[in-house]
C-alpha cells in the first residue's frame, strides 16, 4: 500500500477528474499479464531484486525523500537472486510499474473535514480538508506468485524429511534454518524488493500523469509520499518475549506493520507520530490512514489489519451485480472508474467487503493502531 499527498483540492480536480483517471489508466498498465514501460536486462533485474525502491530512485524514478517514507527504506535485506527460478524472472522482468488485477487499484481520493480524526497528526503528514490524495495497492505481480509456487513444490517434497505434515498442501513449509527455508526467505526478499520497486515506478508515473493534466511540476503540486507499507510478507524483527528481546520471524499475512512512536526502525520523520498505516477498504466506501501504537508491539508483534476484508467470494459478487451497471452507478455517485475487466470490477463491489469504519473502530478499540483520517474515493483504476 502506498499513499501520496498533493496540494490540490477537490475543486481543482473535479473538472479534470475523468481526464486524470483516463491518463492514469494509460500510464499505469493494469490487468492480468500487463507489461510496464521500464525495460531491464537480467543484470539490472538482479539489482532490482536486491535494491528495491533504491534502484528506482538511482535511475530517476523518484525522489531521494521517498526512500525514508518506505518500510525498511524500500529494501529488505537478505535477498539473493540466485534463489529465484528462471520462470519467475521471466514473469517479473517486464512487470515493473504495473498494477495487476484482483483487488489491486490506483485510487484518487478526497479528504473531507468530517473524516479527519486526529487533526494534529494529519497536519504533521501534510493533510488538510478537501485535499486530493492518491492511494495505490499492488505487489510483486506474477513474479512473487511464481516464487511462491516454486517453493510450495519444493516444500511439499521435503516435508517428510523434516517430519512435517499439513492438512492443506498450500500450507507446505520447511524449518527456517533449513537450506530450503533459507533459500525461500532469500527469494521472498527478492519478491518484496520487486514490489517496492513496482510501487515506486507507479508513483513516478502518477507524478508524470498529474503534471500532464494540471501543467504543474510534481514539486509544485507537493506530491510527497506519506508512506509505503507491505502486507503479506515475513520479516526478521526484534520483539520482546517474556521480558527479553529476541530476533523472530514475523509472518504478516493479511496484516501490516504498525510500529509505535520512538521505534528505532522508523525514520526521524515518524519518531513522534508513529509509523503510518494504510488500510484499504473498497472502491465504493474508501480507506483509512492510521498510525502504529505501543500496544501493537506488546500484543501483536507490531502488527494490525491491512484491509477491511471480504464478506463474500468473488464468484458470489459477480453473480450479484454486473460490472457495467456498477460502473454507471458509481459514476452517478461521483466515483469515476476505469477497469480492464468488467467481471473483475463486479468482484470488487463495495458490498463484497466489510464496513471499513467498523473495522477501523475495532482496531482502535483493540489499541493496534490509531485512526488519523478517512479517505473517500472519487476516481479509480482497476485491473
Give the number of other CB atoms < 10 A from CB of residue 162.
Answer: 13
- Residues with Cβ within 8 Å of residue 198, at least 6 apart in sequence: 36, 95, 96, 97, 98, 138, 139, 140, 141
Q: Which of 137, 224, 306, 319 is catalytic?
A: 306
Reduced to 3 states (helix: H, G, I; strand: E, B; else coil), residue 131 is strand
- How many CB atoms lie under 10 A from the CB of residue 324? 12
Active site residue 306: yes
**Please, which residues bridge with residue 286 across strands?**
282
Q: Provide the 3-class DSSP secondary structure of residue 231.
A: strand
Query: What's the rounded Cα separation, in Å, for the pair 132 and 206?
Result: 13
Contact assessment for residue 1 and residue 136, using Cβ atoms and an 8 Å cutoff: yes
Cell numbers for 180 = 530450503
Alpha-carbon gap, residue 197 to 42, rounded angstroms: 15
Cell reading at 375:
479517505
- Provide long-range contacts, Cβ within 8 A and 24+ apart, for 362-367: 363/279, 363/290, 363/304, 363/305, 364/290, 366/295, 366/299, 367/293, 367/295, 367/296, 367/299
Give bridge partners of residue 247 from the DSSP assignment: 238
Phi, psi of 60 (to 5 degrees): 90, 10
Q: CB of 30 within 8 A of CB of 101?
A: yes
State how far the Cα of 199 lies from the Cα of 205, in Å rounded to an integer.
10
Radius of gyration of the chain (CA): 20
Write out the catalytic residue numbers.
306
Amino acid at each position: 500500500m502506498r499513499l501520496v499527498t498533493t496540494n490540490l483540492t477537490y475543486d481543482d480536480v473535479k473538472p479534470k477528474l475523468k481526464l486524470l483517471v483516463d491518463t492514469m489508466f494509460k500510464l499505469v498498465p493494469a490487468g492480468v499479464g500487463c507489461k510496464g514501460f521500464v525495460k531491464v536486462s537480467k543484470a539490472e533485474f538482479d539489482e532490482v531484486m536486491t535494491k528495491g525502491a533504491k534502484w528506482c530512485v538511482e535511475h530517476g524514478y523518484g525522489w531521494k525523500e521517498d526512500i525514508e517514507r518506505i518500510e525498511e527504506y524500500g529494501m529488505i535485506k537478505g535477498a539473493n537472486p540466485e534463489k529465484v527460478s528462471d520462470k519467475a524472472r521471466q514473469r517479473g522482468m517486464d512487470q515493473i510499474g504495473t498494477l495487476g488485477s484482483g483487488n489491486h487499484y490506483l485510487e484518487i481520493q478526497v479528504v473531507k473535514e468530517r473524516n479527519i480524526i486526529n487533526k494534529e497528526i494529519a497536519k504533521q503528514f501534510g493533510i488538510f480538508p478537501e485535499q486530493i490524495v492518491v492511494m495505490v495497492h499492488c505487489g510483486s505481480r506474477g513474479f512473487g506468485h511464481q516464487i511462491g509456487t516454486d517453493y510450495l513444490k519444493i516444500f511439499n517434497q521435503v516435508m517428510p524429511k523434516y517430519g512435517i505434515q499439513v492438512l492443506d498442501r498450500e500450507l507446505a513449509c520447511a524449518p527456517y534454518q533449513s537450506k530450503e527455508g533459507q533459500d525461500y526467505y532469500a527469494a521472498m526478499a527478492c519478491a518484496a524488493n520487486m514490489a517496492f520497486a513496482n510501487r515506486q515506478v507507479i508513483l513516478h508515473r502518477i507524478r508524470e500523469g498529474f503534471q500532464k493534466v494540471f501543467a504543474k511540476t510534481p514539486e509544485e503540486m507537493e506530491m510527497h509520499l506519506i508512506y509505503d507499507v507491505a502486507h503479506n510478507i515475513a520479516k526478521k524483527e526484534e520483539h520482546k518475549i517474556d521480558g527479553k528481546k529476541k530476533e523472530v520471524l514475523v509472518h504478516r499475512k493479511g496484516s501490516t506493520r504498525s510500529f509505535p512512536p520512538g521505534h528505532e526502525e522508523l525514520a526521524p520523520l515518524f519518531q513522534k507520530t508513529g509509523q503510518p498505516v494504510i488500510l484499504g477498504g473498497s472502491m465504493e466506501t474508501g480507506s483509512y490512514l492510521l498510525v502504529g501504537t505501543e500496544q501493537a508491539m506488546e500484543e501483536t508483534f507490531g502488527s494490525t489489519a491491512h484491509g477491511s476484508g471480504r464478506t463474500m467470494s468473488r464468484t458470489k459478487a459477480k453473480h450479484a451485480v454486473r460490472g457495467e451497471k456498477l460502473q454507471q452507478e458509481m459514476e452517478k455517485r461521483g466515483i469515476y472508474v476505469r477497469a480492464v475487466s468488467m467481471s473483475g470490477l463486479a468482484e470488487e463491489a463495495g458490498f463484497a467487503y466489510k464496513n471499513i469504519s467498523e473495522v477501523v473502530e475495532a482496531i482502535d478499540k483493540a489499541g493496534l493502531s490509531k485512526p488519523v483520517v478517512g479517505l473517500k474515493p472519487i476516481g479509480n483504476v482497476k485491473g
